[in-house]
Structure 1
Amino acid sequence: MSMPFYVPPEQVMKDRADFARKGIARGRSVIVLGYDKGIAFVAENPSRALHKVSEIYDRIAFAAVGRYNEFESLRVAGIRYADLRGYSYDRTDVTARALANSYAQTIGAVFTQEQKPFEIEIVVAEVGRTADGDQIFRLTYDGSVADEQGFVAMGGASDIAEQRLGQAWRPGLSLAEALRMAVDVLAAPAAAPGSAAQPGAAAAASPENPPRVIDASMLEVAVLDRERPRRTFRRVTGALLERLLSADDPTANAPTADESHPGHPEVLSGESEQTPPA
Protein backbone atom coordinates (compact mmCIF):
# COMPACT_ATOMS: atom_id res chain seq x y z
CA MET A 1 0.00 0.00 0.00
CA SER A 2 1.49 3.36 -1.02
CA MET A 3 1.77 6.14 1.53
CA PRO A 4 -0.14 9.37 0.72
CA PHE A 5 1.94 12.41 -0.19
CA TYR A 6 2.47 14.55 2.92
CA VAL A 7 3.79 18.09 3.37
CA PRO A 8 3.98 19.67 6.84
CA PRO A 9 1.45 22.51 7.24
CA GLU A 10 4.17 24.96 8.29
CA GLN A 11 6.03 24.25 5.03
CA VAL A 12 2.87 24.85 3.00
CA MET A 13 2.32 28.21 4.73
CA LYS A 14 5.95 29.19 4.24
CA ASP A 15 5.87 28.34 0.54
CA ARG A 16 2.67 30.34 0.05
CA ALA A 17 4.11 33.32 1.90
CA ASP A 18 7.33 33.23 -0.14
CA PHE A 19 5.33 32.99 -3.35
CA ALA A 20 3.16 35.98 -2.43
CA ARG A 21 6.10 38.13 -1.27
CA LYS A 22 8.01 37.55 -4.52
CA GLY A 23 5.00 38.55 -6.59
CA ILE A 24 4.41 41.71 -4.56
CA ALA A 25 8.09 42.73 -4.68
CA ARG A 26 8.00 42.78 -8.48
CA GLY A 27 5.40 45.55 -8.46
CA ARG A 28 6.00 49.29 -8.41
CA SER A 29 5.72 50.95 -5.02
CA VAL A 30 2.86 52.90 -3.49
CA ILE A 31 3.37 55.39 -0.66
CA VAL A 32 0.59 56.62 1.64
CA LEU A 33 1.39 59.42 4.06
CA GLY A 34 -0.36 62.04 6.12
CA TYR A 35 -0.05 65.76 5.48
CA ASP A 36 -1.48 68.78 7.27
CA LYS A 37 -4.91 68.67 5.56
CA GLY A 38 -5.41 64.96 4.96
CA ILE A 39 -3.82 61.83 3.54
CA ALA A 40 -1.87 61.63 0.27
CA PHE A 41 -1.42 58.60 -2.00
CA VAL A 42 1.54 58.48 -4.39
CA ALA A 43 1.93 55.52 -6.75
CA GLU A 44 4.48 54.94 -9.47
CA ASN A 45 1.96 54.15 -12.20
CA PRO A 46 2.29 55.49 -15.77
CA SER A 47 -1.06 53.94 -16.77
CA ARG A 48 -4.03 56.30 -17.01
CA ALA A 49 -6.58 53.48 -17.22
CA LEU A 50 -5.52 50.98 -14.53
CA HIS A 51 -5.60 52.69 -11.14
CA LYS A 52 -3.78 51.62 -8.00
CA VAL A 53 -5.56 54.25 -5.89
CA SER A 54 -9.33 54.68 -5.78
CA GLU A 55 -12.20 56.04 -3.74
CA ILE A 56 -14.26 53.62 -1.63
CA TYR A 57 -16.65 55.92 0.24
CA ASP A 58 -17.03 59.48 1.52
CA ARG A 59 -13.85 59.63 3.61
CA ILE A 60 -12.25 56.30 2.72
CA ALA A 61 -9.78 55.40 -0.04
CA PHE A 62 -8.05 52.25 -1.21
CA ALA A 63 -4.50 51.69 -2.51
CA ALA A 64 -2.93 48.43 -3.62
CA VAL A 65 0.12 46.76 -5.18
CA GLY A 66 0.45 43.37 -6.82
CA ARG A 67 -1.80 41.60 -9.31
CA TYR A 68 -4.33 44.04 -10.73
CA ASN A 69 -7.16 41.53 -11.24
CA GLU A 70 -6.91 40.37 -7.62
CA PHE A 71 -6.94 43.75 -5.89
CA GLU A 72 -9.49 45.15 -8.34
CA SER A 73 -11.98 42.47 -7.30
CA LEU A 74 -11.42 43.45 -3.66
CA ARG A 75 -11.88 47.14 -4.48
CA VAL A 76 -15.23 46.48 -6.13
CA ALA A 77 -16.32 44.27 -3.23
CA GLY A 78 -15.33 47.04 -0.81
CA ILE A 79 -17.45 49.61 -2.64
CA ARG A 80 -20.45 47.27 -2.57
CA TYR A 81 -19.92 46.60 1.15
CA ALA A 82 -19.68 50.33 1.92
CA ASP A 83 -22.72 51.26 -0.18
CA LEU A 84 -24.86 48.54 1.36
CA ARG A 85 -23.84 49.39 4.92
CA GLY A 86 -24.31 53.12 4.38
CA TYR A 87 -27.74 52.58 2.81
CA SER A 88 -28.92 50.09 5.45
CA TYR A 89 -27.73 52.08 8.47
CA ASP A 90 -26.05 55.46 8.18
CA ARG A 91 -23.16 56.87 6.14
CA THR A 92 -21.19 57.43 9.36
CA ASP A 93 -21.37 53.68 10.06
CA VAL A 94 -19.04 53.01 7.12
CA THR A 95 -15.52 53.01 8.59
CA ALA A 96 -12.08 52.02 7.40
CA ARG A 97 -11.70 49.71 10.41
CA ALA A 98 -14.79 47.68 9.50
CA LEU A 99 -13.76 47.54 5.84
CA ALA A 100 -10.23 46.42 6.76
CA ASN A 101 -11.66 43.65 8.95
CA SER A 102 -13.85 42.46 6.06
CA TYR A 103 -10.88 42.47 3.69
CA ALA A 104 -8.75 40.60 6.24
CA GLN A 105 -11.28 37.77 6.46
CA THR A 106 -11.41 37.39 2.68
CA ILE A 107 -7.65 37.56 2.13
CA GLY A 108 -6.92 35.26 5.08
CA ALA A 109 -9.41 32.66 3.83
CA VAL A 110 -7.80 32.67 0.39
CA PHE A 111 -4.33 32.32 1.90
CA THR A 112 -5.21 29.31 4.05
CA GLN A 113 -7.81 27.51 1.92
CA GLU A 114 -7.01 28.18 -1.73
CA GLN A 115 -4.16 26.68 -3.72
CA LYS A 116 -2.76 30.09 -4.69
CA PRO A 117 -2.73 33.09 -2.30
CA PHE A 118 -3.42 36.65 -3.38
CA GLU A 119 -0.23 38.38 -4.53
CA ILE A 120 -1.30 41.73 -3.16
CA GLU A 121 -0.90 44.25 -0.36
CA ILE A 122 -3.54 46.90 0.23
CA VAL A 123 -4.06 50.01 2.31
CA VAL A 124 -7.44 51.23 3.51
CA ALA A 125 -7.25 54.83 4.75
CA GLU A 126 -9.84 57.09 6.34
CA VAL A 127 -9.35 60.81 6.85
CA GLY A 128 -10.57 62.16 10.19
CA ARG A 129 -11.91 65.55 11.17
CA THR A 130 -8.45 66.23 12.62
CA ALA A 131 -5.04 64.72 11.97
CA ASP A 132 -5.35 62.63 15.14
CA GLY A 133 -8.43 60.99 13.66
CA ASP A 134 -6.71 59.77 10.48
CA GLN A 135 -6.53 55.98 10.14
CA ILE A 136 -4.27 53.96 7.83
CA PHE A 137 -4.64 50.17 7.79
CA ARG A 138 -2.22 47.95 5.89
CA LEU A 139 -3.30 44.43 4.91
CA THR A 140 -0.79 41.85 3.72
CA TYR A 141 -1.18 38.73 1.58
CA ASP A 142 -2.06 36.49 4.56
CA GLY A 143 -4.84 38.71 5.94
CA SER A 144 -2.76 40.37 8.66
CA VAL A 145 -3.83 43.91 9.53
CA ALA A 146 -1.50 46.63 10.80
CA ASP A 147 -2.58 50.06 12.07
CA GLU A 148 0.07 52.37 10.59
CA GLN A 149 0.92 55.77 12.00
CA GLY A 150 1.74 58.61 9.64
CA PHE A 151 2.97 56.73 6.58
CA VAL A 152 3.30 53.36 4.90
CA ALA A 153 5.06 52.01 1.78
CA MET A 154 4.05 48.91 -0.18
CA GLY A 155 5.52 46.95 -3.06
CA GLY A 156 9.01 46.95 -4.51
CA ALA A 157 11.66 47.68 -1.88
CA SER A 158 9.09 48.67 0.75
CA ASP A 159 11.42 48.08 3.72
CA ILE A 160 13.93 50.56 2.33
CA ALA A 161 11.20 53.06 1.45
CA GLU A 162 9.73 52.92 4.97
CA GLN A 163 13.20 53.40 6.46
CA ARG A 164 13.65 56.57 4.41
CA LEU A 165 10.16 57.80 5.22
CA GLY A 166 10.81 57.23 8.92
CA GLN A 167 13.83 59.52 8.69
CA ALA A 168 12.12 62.27 6.69
CA TRP A 169 8.41 62.31 7.56
CA ARG A 170 7.02 64.59 10.26
CA PRO A 171 3.50 65.69 11.21
CA GLY A 172 2.22 68.89 9.64
CA LEU A 173 3.84 68.60 6.21
CA SER A 174 2.20 70.59 3.43
CA LEU A 175 0.89 68.66 0.44
CA ALA A 176 3.74 69.88 -1.74
CA GLU A 177 6.33 68.78 0.84
CA ALA A 178 4.66 65.38 1.28
CA LEU A 179 4.52 64.73 -2.47
CA ARG A 180 8.13 65.75 -3.05
CA MET A 181 9.22 63.54 -0.16
CA ALA A 182 7.34 60.56 -1.57
CA VAL A 183 8.83 61.05 -5.04
CA ASP A 184 12.33 61.33 -3.57
CA VAL A 185 11.79 58.03 -1.73
CA LEU A 186 10.48 56.32 -4.87
CA ALA A 187 13.38 57.61 -6.96
CA ALA A 188 16.17 56.78 -4.49
CA PRO A 189 18.50 53.90 -5.45
CA ALA A 190 17.83 50.62 -3.64
CA ALA A 191 21.42 49.37 -3.52
CA ALA A 192 24.66 50.11 -5.26
CA PRO A 193 25.48 47.64 -8.03
CA GLY A 194 27.79 44.91 -6.72
CA SER A 195 27.66 46.26 -3.16
CA ALA A 196 27.76 43.96 -0.16
CA ALA A 197 25.19 45.94 1.82
CA GLN A 198 22.81 44.06 4.04
CA PRO A 199 19.36 43.35 2.57
CA GLY A 200 16.99 46.18 3.34
CA ALA A 201 19.80 48.70 3.87
CA ALA A 202 19.36 52.05 2.15
CA ALA A 203 21.97 52.99 -0.43
CA ALA A 204 23.25 56.51 -0.87
CA ALA A 205 23.07 58.09 -4.29
CA SER A 206 26.37 58.32 -6.13
CA PRO A 207 27.61 58.95 -9.69
CA GLU A 208 27.67 55.17 -10.17
CA ASN A 209 24.24 54.70 -8.57
CA PRO A 210 22.17 57.85 -9.27
CA PRO A 211 18.53 58.29 -8.25
CA ARG A 212 15.94 57.68 -10.93
CA VAL A 213 14.08 60.54 -12.55
CA ILE A 214 10.33 60.33 -11.85
CA ASP A 215 8.15 63.05 -13.34
CA ALA A 216 4.43 63.76 -13.05
CA SER A 217 3.58 61.60 -16.08
CA MET A 218 4.84 58.52 -14.24
CA LEU A 219 2.78 59.10 -11.11
CA GLU A 220 -0.73 58.46 -9.90
CA VAL A 221 -1.51 60.90 -7.08
CA ALA A 222 -4.66 61.34 -5.03
CA VAL A 223 -5.62 62.85 -1.68
CA LEU A 224 -8.24 62.56 1.02
CA ASP A 225 -8.77 66.24 1.83
CA ARG A 226 -10.40 66.67 5.25
CA GLU A 227 -11.55 70.20 4.36
CA ARG A 228 -13.78 69.03 1.50
CA PRO A 229 -17.53 68.50 2.05
CA ARG A 230 -18.46 64.85 2.55
CA ARG A 231 -16.66 63.20 -0.41
CA THR A 232 -13.04 63.95 0.31
CA PHE A 233 -11.27 61.91 -2.40
CA ARG A 234 -9.59 63.88 -5.18
CA ARG A 235 -7.11 62.99 -7.89
CA VAL A 236 -4.21 65.39 -8.43
CA THR A 237 -3.13 65.61 -12.07
CA GLY A 238 -1.87 67.90 -14.78
CA ALA A 239 -0.39 71.34 -14.19
CA LEU A 240 -1.25 71.33 -10.50
CA LEU A 241 0.70 68.12 -9.86
CA GLU A 242 3.68 69.50 -11.77
CA ARG A 243 3.54 72.69 -9.69
CA LEU A 244 3.31 70.77 -6.41
CA LEU A 245 6.32 68.66 -7.38
CA SER A 246 8.36 71.69 -8.41
CA ALA A 247 10.77 72.74 -5.68
CA ASP A 248 11.18 76.08 -7.47
CA ASP A 249 7.59 77.15 -6.79
CA PRO A 250 7.32 78.50 -3.23
CA THR A 251 3.61 79.23 -3.72
CA ALA A 252 2.67 75.58 -4.27
CA ASN A 253 0.21 74.77 -1.55
CA ALA A 254 -2.94 72.75 -0.93
CA PRO A 255 -5.00 72.41 -4.11
CA THR A 256 -8.17 74.29 -4.86
CA ALA A 257 -10.98 73.09 -7.09
CA ASP A 258 -14.19 74.23 -8.68
CA GLU A 259 -16.84 74.40 -5.94
CA SER A 260 -19.80 74.64 -8.31
CA HIS A 261 -20.65 70.97 -7.67
CA PRO A 262 -20.15 70.36 -3.92
CA GLY A 263 -19.19 66.79 -3.12
CA HIS A 264 -18.38 65.88 -6.72
CA PRO A 265 -15.03 64.00 -6.91
CA GLU A 266 -13.48 66.23 -9.53
CA VAL A 267 -9.91 65.78 -10.65
CA LEU A 268 -7.62 68.44 -9.26
CA SER A 269 -5.72 69.92 -12.17
CA GLY A 270 -4.63 73.25 -13.48
CA GLU A 271 -7.90 73.46 -15.45
CA SER A 272 -10.22 72.05 -12.71
CA GLU A 273 -11.11 69.16 -15.02
CA GLN A 274 -13.98 67.02 -13.76
CA THR A 275 -14.15 63.25 -14.21
CA PRO A 276 -15.95 60.46 -12.36
CA PRO A 277 -14.05 58.52 -9.69
CA ALA A 278 -12.13 55.39 -10.60
Structure 2
Amino acid sequence: MSLPFYVAPEQQMKDRAEFARKGISRGRSVVVLRYRCGIAFVAENPSHTLHKVSEVYDRIGFAAVGRYNEFENLRIAGIQYADLRGYSYDRRDVTGRGLANQYAQQLGAAFSSGVDKPFEVELIVAELGLAGAGDQIFRIGFDGTITDEPGFSVIGGAAETLHAAIAKDFSADADLGDAVKLASAGFSDGVALEVAVLDRTRSQLRTFRRIGTAELDRPPGDD
Protein backbone atom coordinates (compact mmCIF):
# COMPACT_ATOMS: atom_id res chain seq x y z
CA MET A 1 0.00 0.00 0.00
CA SER A 2 1.52 3.32 -1.08
CA LEU A 3 1.63 6.26 1.30
CA PRO A 4 -0.22 9.47 0.36
CA PHE A 5 1.93 12.23 -1.10
CA TYR A 6 2.98 14.65 1.64
CA VAL A 7 2.74 18.40 1.17
CA ALA A 8 3.97 20.74 3.89
CA PRO A 9 1.16 22.86 5.39
CA GLU A 10 3.01 26.07 4.48
CA GLN A 11 3.26 24.98 0.84
CA GLN A 12 -0.36 23.90 0.77
CA MET A 13 -1.51 27.32 2.02
CA LYS A 14 0.75 29.03 -0.52
CA ASP A 15 -0.65 26.92 -3.36
CA ARG A 16 -4.25 27.59 -2.29
CA ALA A 17 -3.58 31.33 -2.08
CA GLU A 18 -1.99 31.35 -5.54
CA PHE A 19 -4.95 29.41 -6.95
CA ALA A 20 -7.43 31.94 -5.53
CA ARG A 21 -5.41 34.97 -6.65
CA LYS A 22 -5.24 33.68 -10.23
CA GLY A 23 -9.01 33.34 -10.37
CA ILE A 24 -9.58 36.80 -8.91
CA SER A 25 -6.99 38.44 -11.19
CA ARG A 26 -9.11 37.52 -14.22
CA GLY A 27 -12.04 39.51 -12.83
CA ARG A 28 -12.78 43.07 -13.92
CA SER A 29 -12.25 45.64 -11.19
CA VAL A 30 -14.72 47.27 -8.81
CA VAL A 31 -14.17 50.55 -6.97
CA VAL A 32 -16.15 51.59 -3.90
CA LEU A 33 -15.60 55.12 -2.66
CA ARG A 34 -17.15 57.80 -0.52
CA TYR A 35 -18.53 60.93 -2.16
CA ARG A 36 -20.39 64.00 -0.93
CA CYS A 37 -23.81 62.40 -0.53
CA GLY A 38 -22.92 58.82 0.27
CA ILE A 39 -20.96 55.85 -1.06
CA ALA A 40 -20.56 55.03 -4.77
CA PHE A 41 -19.99 51.61 -6.35
CA VAL A 42 -18.36 51.62 -9.80
CA ALA A 43 -17.68 48.36 -11.63
CA GLU A 44 -16.41 47.27 -15.01
CA ASN A 45 -19.29 45.08 -16.11
CA PRO A 46 -20.39 44.44 -19.71
CA SER A 47 -23.41 42.44 -18.50
CA HIS A 48 -26.71 44.19 -17.83
CA THR A 49 -28.14 41.28 -15.83
CA LEU A 50 -25.25 39.65 -13.92
CA HIS A 51 -24.66 42.34 -11.32
CA LYS A 52 -21.41 42.71 -9.37
CA VAL A 53 -22.92 45.36 -7.09
CA SER A 54 -26.11 45.02 -5.09
CA GLU A 55 -28.09 45.93 -2.00
CA VAL A 56 -27.94 43.74 1.10
CA TYR A 57 -29.92 45.79 3.61
CA ASP A 58 -31.26 49.27 4.29
CA ARG A 59 -27.90 51.07 4.41
CA ILE A 60 -25.57 48.26 3.33
CA GLY A 61 -24.20 47.52 -0.14
CA PHE A 62 -22.19 44.62 -1.54
CA ALA A 63 -19.61 44.40 -4.33
CA ALA A 64 -17.61 41.44 -5.58
CA VAL A 65 -15.15 40.17 -8.18
CA GLY A 66 -14.20 36.64 -9.15
CA ARG A 67 -16.40 33.65 -9.90
CA TYR A 68 -19.96 34.86 -10.33
CA ASN A 69 -21.67 31.73 -8.99
CA GLU A 70 -19.56 31.85 -5.83
CA PHE A 71 -20.09 35.49 -4.95
CA GLU A 72 -23.76 35.32 -5.90
CA ASN A 73 -24.25 32.54 -3.35
CA LEU A 74 -22.39 34.63 -0.77
CA ARG A 75 -24.56 37.65 -1.59
CA ILE A 76 -27.75 35.64 -1.04
CA ALA A 77 -26.39 34.22 2.23
CA GLY A 78 -25.64 37.78 3.37
CA ILE A 79 -29.18 38.91 2.62
CA GLN A 80 -30.59 35.96 4.54
CA TYR A 81 -28.31 36.73 7.52
CA ALA A 82 -29.35 40.39 7.50
CA ASP A 83 -33.07 39.66 7.15
CA LEU A 84 -33.01 37.10 9.97
CA ARG A 85 -31.07 39.36 12.31
CA GLY A 86 -33.24 42.37 11.55
CA TYR A 87 -36.41 40.34 12.09
CA SER A 88 -35.19 38.62 15.28
CA TYR A 89 -33.78 41.74 16.92
CA ASP A 90 -33.99 45.18 15.35
CA ARG A 91 -33.14 46.57 11.92
CA ARG A 92 -30.50 48.76 13.58
CA ASP A 93 -28.70 45.58 14.74
CA VAL A 94 -27.81 44.75 11.13
CA THR A 95 -24.40 46.33 10.52
CA GLY A 96 -21.79 46.27 7.81
CA ARG A 97 -19.19 45.12 10.31
CA GLY A 98 -21.34 42.18 11.37
CA LEU A 99 -21.97 41.17 7.77
CA ALA A 100 -18.28 41.49 6.89
CA ASN A 101 -17.43 39.23 9.84
CA GLN A 102 -19.90 36.63 8.59
CA TYR A 103 -18.33 36.65 5.14
CA ALA A 104 -14.83 36.52 6.62
CA GLN A 105 -15.68 33.44 8.67
CA GLN A 106 -17.11 31.64 5.65
CA LEU A 107 -14.22 32.53 3.33
CA GLY A 108 -11.60 31.80 6.00
CA ALA A 109 -13.09 28.40 6.81
CA ALA A 110 -13.11 27.39 3.15
CA PHE A 111 -9.54 28.59 2.64
CA SER A 112 -8.04 26.81 5.64
CA SER A 113 -10.06 23.57 5.50
CA GLY A 114 -7.83 21.92 2.91
CA VAL A 115 -10.79 19.80 1.77
CA ASP A 116 -12.60 21.93 -0.81
CA LYS A 117 -11.02 24.53 -3.06
CA PRO A 118 -10.89 28.10 -1.70
CA PHE A 119 -13.35 30.73 -2.94
CA GLU A 120 -12.08 32.64 -5.95
CA VAL A 121 -13.66 35.92 -4.86
CA GLU A 122 -12.96 39.22 -3.16
CA LEU A 123 -15.77 41.18 -1.52
CA ILE A 124 -16.55 44.69 -0.33
CA VAL A 125 -19.24 45.46 2.22
CA ALA A 126 -20.07 49.15 2.66
CA GLU A 127 -22.39 50.72 5.23
CA LEU A 128 -23.78 54.24 4.94
CA GLY A 129 -23.55 56.30 8.12
CA LEU A 130 -26.02 58.98 9.15
CA ALA A 131 -23.18 61.43 8.43
CA GLY A 132 -20.08 61.05 6.30
CA ALA A 133 -17.89 60.31 9.30
CA GLY A 134 -19.97 57.19 9.96
CA ASP A 135 -19.45 55.60 6.54
CA GLN A 136 -17.66 52.25 6.65
CA ILE A 137 -16.06 50.23 3.84
CA PHE A 138 -14.74 46.72 4.50
CA ARG A 139 -12.69 44.65 2.06
CA ILE A 140 -12.82 40.88 2.60
CA GLY A 141 -10.14 38.74 0.96
CA PHE A 142 -10.41 35.19 -0.34
CA ASP A 143 -8.71 33.93 2.85
CA GLY A 144 -11.12 35.71 5.19
CA THR A 145 -8.94 38.71 6.02
CA ILE A 146 -10.84 41.97 6.64
CA THR A 147 -9.46 45.43 5.90
CA ASP A 148 -11.21 48.60 7.05
CA GLU A 149 -10.86 51.08 4.18
CA PRO A 150 -11.50 54.66 5.38
CA GLY A 151 -12.14 56.40 2.04
CA PHE A 152 -12.22 53.95 -0.83
CA SER A 153 -11.41 50.38 -1.78
CA VAL A 154 -10.55 48.57 -5.01
CA ILE A 155 -10.82 44.87 -5.82
CA GLY A 156 -10.14 42.86 -8.96
CA GLY A 157 -7.33 42.23 -11.39
CA ALA A 158 -5.94 45.78 -11.54
CA ALA A 159 -6.58 46.65 -7.90
CA GLU A 160 -3.07 47.81 -6.99
CA THR A 161 -2.68 50.06 -10.03
CA LEU A 162 -6.14 51.57 -9.64
CA HIS A 163 -5.70 52.11 -5.92
CA ALA A 164 -2.51 54.10 -6.46
CA ALA A 165 -4.12 56.23 -9.18
CA ILE A 166 -7.28 56.99 -7.18
CA ALA A 167 -5.33 57.86 -4.02
CA LYS A 168 -3.73 60.85 -5.78
CA ASP A 169 -7.02 62.70 -6.35
CA PHE A 170 -9.53 61.13 -3.99
CA SER A 171 -11.84 63.46 -2.05
CA ALA A 172 -14.79 62.37 0.07
CA ASP A 173 -16.41 65.74 -0.78
CA ALA A 174 -16.51 65.14 -4.55
CA ASP A 175 -19.87 65.11 -6.34
CA LEU A 176 -21.13 61.85 -7.82
CA GLY A 177 -20.03 62.58 -11.38
CA ASP A 178 -16.47 63.37 -10.35
CA ALA A 179 -16.34 60.32 -8.07
CA VAL A 180 -17.42 58.00 -10.89
CA LYS A 181 -14.98 59.66 -13.30
CA LEU A 182 -12.11 59.17 -10.85
CA ALA A 183 -13.07 55.56 -10.11
CA SER A 184 -13.36 54.58 -13.78
CA ALA A 185 -10.35 56.52 -15.13
CA GLY A 186 -8.16 53.42 -15.06
CA PHE A 187 -10.75 51.05 -16.56
CA SER A 188 -10.49 49.64 -20.06
CA ASP A 189 -11.55 52.05 -22.82
CA GLY A 190 -15.18 51.68 -23.83
CA VAL A 191 -16.06 49.21 -21.07
CA ALA A 192 -19.64 49.30 -19.79
CA LEU A 193 -20.04 50.56 -16.24
CA GLU A 194 -22.28 49.31 -13.48
CA VAL A 195 -22.86 52.18 -11.05
CA ALA A 196 -24.89 52.31 -7.84
CA VAL A 197 -24.92 54.38 -4.68
CA LEU A 198 -25.92 54.35 -1.05
CA ASP A 199 -27.58 57.76 -1.07
CA ARG A 200 -27.70 59.70 2.21
CA THR A 201 -30.21 62.21 0.77
CA ARG A 202 -32.97 59.64 0.24
CA SER A 203 -35.95 59.87 2.54
CA GLN A 204 -36.65 56.13 2.19
CA LEU A 205 -35.33 53.62 4.68
CA ARG A 206 -33.55 51.80 1.87
CA THR A 207 -30.73 53.96 0.50
CA PHE A 208 -29.38 51.79 -2.34
CA ARG A 209 -30.17 52.79 -5.92
CA ARG A 210 -28.71 52.10 -9.33
CA ILE A 211 -27.44 54.96 -11.47
CA GLY A 212 -28.04 55.26 -15.20
CA THR A 213 -26.02 57.08 -17.84
CA ALA A 214 -28.45 60.01 -17.98
CA GLU A 215 -27.96 60.77 -14.30
CA LEU A 216 -24.17 60.61 -14.59
CA ASP A 217 -24.33 63.18 -17.40
CA ARG A 218 -26.09 65.78 -15.23
CA PRO A 219 -24.15 68.95 -14.36
CA PRO A 220 -22.17 68.88 -11.07
CA GLY A 221 -24.20 69.66 -7.99
CA ASP A 222 -27.36 67.88 -9.18
CA ASP A 223 -26.57 64.63 -7.34
Place the TM-score, normalised by the shorter chain, in its bin. Answer: over 0.9
Identity %: 59
* Equivalence for 1:222: 196
Q: In the TM superposition, what are the counterparts of 1:202-241 in structure 2 within 5 Å?
A: 212-214=189-191, 218-228=192-202, 229-241=204-216
AA of the residue aligned to 2:196 = A
Deviation at 1:5, TM superposition (A): 1.6
Deviation at 1:175, TM superposition (A): 0.7
Contact 2:122/2:140, CA 8 A, preserved across alignment: yes
Q: In the TM superposition, what are the counterparts of 1:6-155 in structure 2 within 5 Å?
A: 6-113=6-113, 114-155=115-156
Q: Deviations over 1:98-123 (max 9, x none)?
A: 00001111111111113310000000
Deviation at 1:252, TM superposition (A): 3.4
AA of the residue aligned to 2:208 = F
* Equivalence for 1:5: 5
Distance 1:4 1:231 in 2: 54
Distance 1:254 1:129 in 2: 20
AA of the residue aligned to 1:223 = V
Contact 1:176/1:254, CA 8 A, preserved across alignment: no
* Equivalence for 1:252: 220
Q: Deviations over 1:36-69 (max 9, x none)?
A: 1100000010111100000000000000000000
Runs of 4+ residues deviating >3 angstroms? 1-4, 252-255
Distance 2:221 2:210 in 1: 15
AA of the residue aligned to 1:166 = A
* Equivalence for 1:199: none
Q: TM-score, normalised by structure 2?
A: 0.95
AA of the residue aligned to 2:6 = Y
Distance 2:12 2:116 in 1: 10
5+ unaligned residues in a row in structure 1: which ranges?
188-211, 245-250, 256-278
AA of the residue aligned to 1:252 = P
Indicate how the Cα distance of structure 1 residues 178 and 222 shifts in structure 2: closer, same or farther if over 3 A, else same: same
Q: Which has the higher strand share?
A: 2
Deviation at 1:2, TM superposition (A): 4.2
Q: Which has the higher contact order (CA 8 A, sep 6+)?
A: 2
Deviation at 1:254, TM superposition (A): 4.2
CA RMSD of aligned residues (A): 1.3
5+ unaligned residues in a row in structure 2: which ranges?
none
- Report how many aligned residue pairs link the two structures: 221
Q: Deviations over 1:187-210 (max 9, x none)?
A: 4xxxxxxxxxxxxxxxxxxxxxxx
Q: In the TM superposition, what are the counterparts of 1:134-213 in structure 2 within 5 Å?
A: 134-187=135-188, 212-213=189-190
Contact 1:54/1:63, CA 8 A, preserved across alignment: yes
Contact 1:33/1:150, CA 8 A, preserved across alignment: yes
AA of the residue aligned to 2:197 = V
Deviation at 1:183, TM superposition (A): 1.6
Distance 2:110 2:222 in 1: 40
Aligned-partner SS, 1:185: coil
Q: TM-score, normalised by structure 1?
A: 0.77
